[in-house]
Structure 1
Amino acid sequence: MSGTLAIIGRPNVGKSTLFNRLVGRRLALVDDRPGVTRDRREGEGRIADLTFAVIDTAGLDDAPPSSLEGRMRAQTEAAIAESDVCLFLVDARSGVTPLDRHFADLLRRSGKPVVLAANKCEGRAGESGLYEAFELGLGEPIALSAEHGEGLSELYDAIAPHLGGEAADSFGDEHEADGEDDEEGPHALRLAVIGRPNTGKSTMINALVGEDRLLTGPEAGITRDSIAIDWTWRGREIRLYDTAGMRRRSRVTEKLEKLAVADTLRAVRFAEVVVLMIDATQPFEKQDLHIADLVAREGRACVIALNKWDLVTDKRGVRAELEEMVDRLLPQLKGVPIVTLSALTGKSLDTLLPAVLHIYEVWQQRLPTAELNRWLSEALQAHPPPAPGGRRIRLRYITQVKGRPPTFVVFCSRPQALPDAYRRYLVNGLREAFDLWGVPIRLHLRKGDNPYA
């Protein structure tokens, strides 16, 4: 990539729509209401042969620094500081507002190159607003339609000199990036942090990376988009995903929150290891069980992080109670690592990543077939399978067909007749014999071919 482009503008001018257009995928949440985007989101943008890093930012708003809008503005100012060129977006249909003029002055004072663009110029409804944009004193505005992909040729010519490219004389067909899922490098560990709202997910990630990269505060539900952050820990490349808090389904009624939860589910499916954040000052709720069960059903490795541990008085009792509930209510994640920490103070934060890397190694472990069949023979001798209807069930052979998560196939004579209790006996035996604690195990039964048929 040749440089960084930051998309700047007041709320609801189409910044996230343009961001999705440039990266070629629907990464950023888009809704009609203003102020949907809060954190700054990064992606790889492309127009024809020009590739660059693009940052989607929160809408600029004139607000006190201590307010949520003020903290959002600080994130936008950080994006301006790290960019090579700023794309200042105005709404051609609304015309130039006093807020546009205010932030045009802010961009001029930043000293960064600024490209002015008027969005929503499809048809003739935006003509007057396009001409009004001249009065901002940022040069000739580019007529864009992020929704329909119009004006990308002119945008290419305007930003290419600032991003290490050259303006083309003829652009040809406007190009939209394909949807290949190349968002992260092949060796980066994908780690998603999920949990209920206000458990400290963003605060913990900020503490890990050592900067205020994500928006935090006392308000619940600040995070909406799933934000990806590239990070290196002791030479290991890790891509962190901060996600929106997941409330009970019955409480999720608004469209925007449904979109945020869907983005969180996508992050879980895309991750390799999931950290389930739990507020240690609040009781272990049914929603925590639902989230952990979701992780297990998706087949992801899991670590439970008890945050705000510094505020707990009866530490031994709280931990013992949680461990008992997890083993009893989440048998599919039996033995899952539980880490206690304080994201705000950073206490015991160094214990999280070793637990993550350990469970990751267990999650992708491959076992030799010979050892598995020796174990199966011993398990059958210790506890033979039942004989429903007086007919024995013969378990002949076991093999591991894949890791991530560990998945096994047992060949037997009557797979449909084997009780679930005996299947659980085999799964627990695999955990104990091969130290597969804390990861979901898939065990499939298959009927072998009859050699006499």
Structure 2
Amino acid sequence: MVTIAIIGRPNVGKSTLFNRLVGKRLALVDDRPGVTRDRRPGEARLGDLEFEVIDTAGLEEAAAESLEGRMRAQTEAAIASADLSLFLIDVKAGVTPVDQVFGELLRKVGKPVVLVANKAEARGSDAGLADAYGLGLGEPCPISAEHGEGMSDLRDAIVEAIGIEAFDTEEALDEAETDVAVPESEEVPAYDATKPLRIAVVGRPNAGKSTLVNRFLGEDRMLTGPEAGITRDSISVEWSWQGRRVKMFDTAGLRRKSRIQEKLEKLSVADALRAVKFAEVVIVVLDVTIPFERQDLQIADLVLREGRAAVLAFNKWDLVEDRQAVLADLREKTDRLLPQARGIRAVPVSGETGEGLDRLMRAVAETHEVWNRRISTARLNQWLQGMVAHHQPPAVSGRRVNLKYLTQVKTRPPTFMLSTSRPEALGASYTRYLIGGLREDFGLFGVPIRLSLKKPDNPYAGKRKRFS
């Protein structure tokens, strides 16, 4: 795997950039210089690139036996072991004599370097950006590590410095075209069907949530009864289904906000919402005798907006007489009323008799697998070519919007980033066309799909006009 070291003098934003690349707050960040002392490795992702990144201590001129000198030795060891160094400077403060000293050190090492001009979003950074050329390390790449600006430009600069072939990927993307070489057998991590499941059971009051949980457990663990609102706390229980550990949360019934008056109920609802955020799959329980009330749809929409995988459980199925007709009606209403999760799995069950519970758990496991699904960048861009050929992006002022490349940036839920020349001109209808195609062609049914549009930042846009 490619190793990239982030280096620079103290307090230029190295740890902030490290945290952004690894997607977690692993490194301490503070306004005081010198917080980072040791080398900290992490697994990073930048667009379609995956690599190991090393956060390092700030480079300082100091005696070898001092603490600062030993910190510098650690940083120099990171430079020696890395395939590429990201040399950060603070363009808001401008290029300092210390930057020049260590720029000379990097040139002597002779390894690939990308000069990264951090804090480029600040006013007055233009002068520092111009001075950066004097370091002799090529064109500076302006970014804002704190705000996440310029990340696509940084990706391109890294690829230009060491080549796409250095990474464990064959999906070298031509930014002007969408032609992608698709490898015959690209490995995507397999779904681990042995991992424990975290499930929340939500729904309106008196939909039968606690009765359903008791039936799963095979005992009267939850207090139940005909009264609505018996459950107040979100109670977690653990059990096993087909050898797989399950942690399930029974939650308080969610009423319309206008009807919630008591402080205790407000706390119960807040607790239920926390359970939804903690869960991976959420079973939305509906009373089949009065399904799809407004509150049912709002609960399902809330689950999907939180990015959770959802499964519908039509409870009290034992009370239904004409089952075929009711089932056909439920399927039609599900597709019509929940278009944001087309293909969502819906299972008729009975908490009283235990009917349909095994089918419900199979639906939960299948939806969890889809929620964790990863699609290779090569397959996505081959698919994107076909979508564009079938339906061209809109043309604005006679210019066709150029779709450069598509990549999946995360799972849980499936999240994609589309690089395009003019995101603002693509339009909601074309975005819906792409999301619908992703859902249909890659089987992403019953889970939310997120698609963000990005364009490379151009800090020089409009400057020629300003000085002319």
Provide the TM-score with structure 2 as the length reference. 0.56
Which runs of structure 2 are paired with 1:160-239 in the superposition (5 Å)?
187-239=195-247
Matched, 1:388 2:388: no
Task: Specify the alignment match of 2:298 in structure 1.
Answer: 290
Q: Deviations over 1:196-249 (max 9, x none)?
A: 011111111111111111101111110000000011111111100000000111
Distance 2:460 2:228 in 1: 65
Task: Specify the alignment match of 1:412 in structure 2.
Answer: 420
Task: Specify the alignment match of 1:369 in structure 2.
Answer: 377
- Give the gaps of 5 or more residues in structure 1: 1-185
Matched, 1:336 2:369: no
Distance 2:316 2:376 in 1: 42
Moved more, 380-389 or 355-364: 380-389
Distance 1:362 1:312 in 2: 31
Report how far residue 417 of structure 1 moved. 1.4
Distance 1:296 1:450 in 2: 35
Distance 1:250 1:451 in 2: 48
Report how far residue 450 of structure 1 moved. 6.7
* Number of residue pairs the alignment of both structures matches: 268
Distance 2:396 2:327 in 1: 42
Which runs of structure 2 are paired with 1:141-160 in the superposition (5 Å)?
none
Moved more, 324-333 or 283-292: 324-333
Which runs of structure 2 are paired with 1:53-132 in the superposition (5 Å)?
none
Q: Deviations over 1:137-193 (max 9, x none)?
A: xxxxxxxxxxxxxxxxxxxxxxxxxxxxxxxxxxxxxxxxxxxxxxxxx94311000
Task: Specify the alignment match of 2:10 in structure 1.
Answer: none
Report how far residue 344 of structure 1 moved. 0.2
1:446 pairs with one of 454, 457, 468: 454
Distance 1:328 1:281 in 2: 19
Aligned Cα RMSD in Å? Answer: 1.7
Task: Specify the alignment match of 1:327 in structure 2.
Answer: 335
2:440 pairs with one of 429, 432, 452: 432
Matched, 1:314 2:322: yes
Provide the TM-score with structure 1 as the length reference. 0.57
Helix, strand or coil for the counterpart of 1:299?
coil
Distance 1:450 1:386 in 2: 23
1:243 pairs with one of 251, 266, 270: 251
Distance 1:419 1:328 in 2: 23
Distance 1:397 1:452 in 2: 23
Is the Cα–Cα contact under 8 Å of residues 238 and 246 in structure 2 kept in the other structure?
Answer: yes
Distance 2:275 2:447 in 1: 18
Q: Deviations over 1:68-88 (max 9, x none)?
A: xxxxxxxxxxxxxxxxxxxxx
4+ runs deviating over 6 angstroms: 450-453
Q: Deviations over 1:67-112 (max 9, x none)?
A: xxxxxxxxxxxxxxxxxxxxxxxxxxxxxxxxxxxxxxxxxxxxxx
Helix, strand or coil for the counterpart of 1:436?
coil
Q: Deviations over 1:337-395 (max 9, x none)?
A: 00011110111221111110000000011111100000000000000111123221111
Report how far residue 410 of structure 1 moved. 0.3
Distance 2:246 2:363 in 1: 14
Report how far residue 321 of structure 1 moved. 2.6
Task: Specify the alignment match of 2:144 in structure 1.
Answer: none
Moved more, 326-335 or 399-408: 326-335
Q: Deviations over 1:393-416 (max 9, x none)?
A: 111100000000000000001001
Report how far residue 448 of structure 1 moved. 3.2
Distance 2:258 2:288 in 1: 24
Is the Cα–Cα contact under 8 Å of residues 394 and 425 in structure 2 kept in the other structure?
Answer: no
Q: Deviations over 1:33-86 (max 9, x none)?
A: xxxxxxxxxxxxxxxxxxxxxxxxxxxxxxxxxxxxxxxxxxxxxxxxxxxxxx
Task: Specify the alignment match of 1:255 in structure 2.
Answer: 263
- Give the gaps of 5 or more residues in structure 2: 1-193, 462-468
Report how far residue 306 of structure 1 moved. 0.4
Distance 1:451 1:243 in 2: 50
2:281 pairs with one of 267, 270, 273: 273
Distance 1:362 1:314 in 2: 32
Task: Specify the alignment match of 2:68 in structure 1.
Answer: none
